[in-house]
Amino acid sequence: MTLLPGSGSRDDPAVSRGTRVLFALGPDPDALPGLLERQRDLLLLCRGRRIRTVRPENLHVTLAFLGDRTDEEIAGLITAARNIALPQAPIRARTGDVLALPHLERPRVVALELLSDGTIEHLAVQVAERTEAIGNRERRPFLAHLTLVRMNGGQLRPGAVEPMLVPLTTFALLASLTGPSGVRYEPLWSAELCAGDPVRAGISSLPTRSRTS
């Protein structure tokens, strides 16, 4: 098994503890133009100097953030992912309220609530149950949302954006990778939410990792 750069022994404080990973749902690419319109609307509600938009390719719905993981732990997470009962069709979600997270006074992200028939929440429960033995460190109450804007020290004026349907078409274990151009997400394992076989990325094909200090 090939280790990613920096995913060496946990006893060595000079090296990273692994690859930062999360389980997430991905929106249908056809929904991206509409989401980018909502992103522009949200920018009009934001006030501050350090405001940046989330790139289209980075849009996702986090089901569970699992932190830094070794290759061995990632293999266990992929096994867990294969045992999750996935919907056999895209999840029909729609956007709801504008959210300032973690709280309105000092928001770090501006997001849109995502509403479904409970399928998103059910998947989040399955992920939590399947990864508990591996050490799921997510302790925050689950809230289905799609982050569109990131900010630091800014303010969000009250407002709303026009709701839209957002089909969610992929379920994936993503690596969160940081480089000179910012954060990017690459799938370590993914499955389409439709009838058929999932698309798999094995440990041997894990992406090369780069981190900024």
pLDDT by residue (tens digit) across 86-97? 999 999 999 999
Asked, for residue 1, whether it belongs to a domain, the answer is no
Asked, for residue 62, whether it belongs to a domain, the answer is yes
Report pLDDT digits (tens) over 157-188: 999 999 999 999 999 999 999 988 889 999 99
What's the whole-number average pLDDT of the chain?
84
CB 154 within 8 A of CB 50: yes
Q: What is the pLDDT of residue 110?
A: 96
The CATH number for 42's domain is 3.90.1140.10
Burial class (CB in 10 A: 0-12, 13-18, 19+), 92: middle
Asked, for residue 171, whether it belongs to a domain, the answer is yes
The candidate with the shortest Cα–Cα distance to 52, out of 154, 188, 122, is 154
Asked, for residue 209, whether it belongs to a domain, the answer is no
**pTM value?**
0.82
Report pLDDT digits (tens) over 34-79: 999 999 999 999 998 789 999 999 999 999 999 999 999 999 999 9
Asked, for residue 212, whether it belongs to a domain, the answer is no
Q: Which helix (H) or strand (E) holds 122?
A: helix 119-131
Domain of 94? 19-197
d(C-alpha 122, C-alpha 164), whole Å: 22
The candidate with the shortest Cα–Cα distance to 150, out of 43, 66, 69, 62, is 43
Q: Which helix (H) or strand (E) holds 40?
A: helix 32-43
Asked, for residue 211, whether it belongs to a domain, the answer is no
Average pLDDT over residues 152-159: 88
Counted domains in the chain: 1
Say if residue 191's pLDDT is above 70: yes
Asked, for residue 90, whether it belongs to a domain, the answer is yes
Alpha-carbon dihedral angle through residues 158, 163, 169, 174, given to the nearest 10 degrees: -10
Asked, for residue 3, whether it belongs to a domain, the answer is no
CB 70 within 8 A of CB 209: no
Band (17; pLDDT cuts 50, 70, 90): low
